[in-house]
Amino acid sequence: MGRKKVTIELSEGDYNYLAGIAKTCDWTLEEVVVQCIRAGMPPTLSKVPDPFYDELIKLNAMGDRDLMRIADGNWPLPENQDDLHRKADFVALRRTYALSLLKWRGHPISPDETMFG
């Protein structure tokens, strides 16, 4: 896979903070920035079974209130709820992904709210 170059502007404070971490860790600034991006991203859906991918990726476009309703279990079941959805516990998978998106968006999520916390 190739690499893409991205140029961003940082405040002096953010830059100095990242540069300080890089120096302390003996990493390059690029390595620190990439690590911050990877650590802060929502989980990948690459290992999600194909029948669930389209349903879960749509959660990214939802507003925070709807994601909170999903996380609280106040969201209707998918129309195509079948044996595969029930066997895989799609509702729990959807809830966990909604919680991870909310956390990524800056909402405090306590460990007891997540399945894996």
pLDDT tens string 25-42: 999 999 999 999 888 888
Q: Is the pLDDT of residue 117 over 50?
A: no
3-state secondary structure of 68: helix
Angle formed at CA 58 by CA 55 and CA 61, multiple of 5 degrees: 165
Q: In which band, very low, low, confident or very high, does the pLDDT at 115 lie, cut at 50, 70 and 90? A: very low
How many Å apart are CA 71 and CA 97, to the nearest integer?
Answer: 8
What's the predicted TM-score (pTM) here? 0.70
Query: Which has the closest alpha carbon to 55: 91, 87, 83?
Result: 91
Exposed/middle/buried for 94, CB within 10 Å: 0-12, 13-18, 19+?
A: buried
Average pLDDT over residues 92-117: 79
Average pLDDT over residues 2-16: 94
Neighbour tally for 101: CB within 10 Å:
21
Which tokens belong to 66? 């709807």
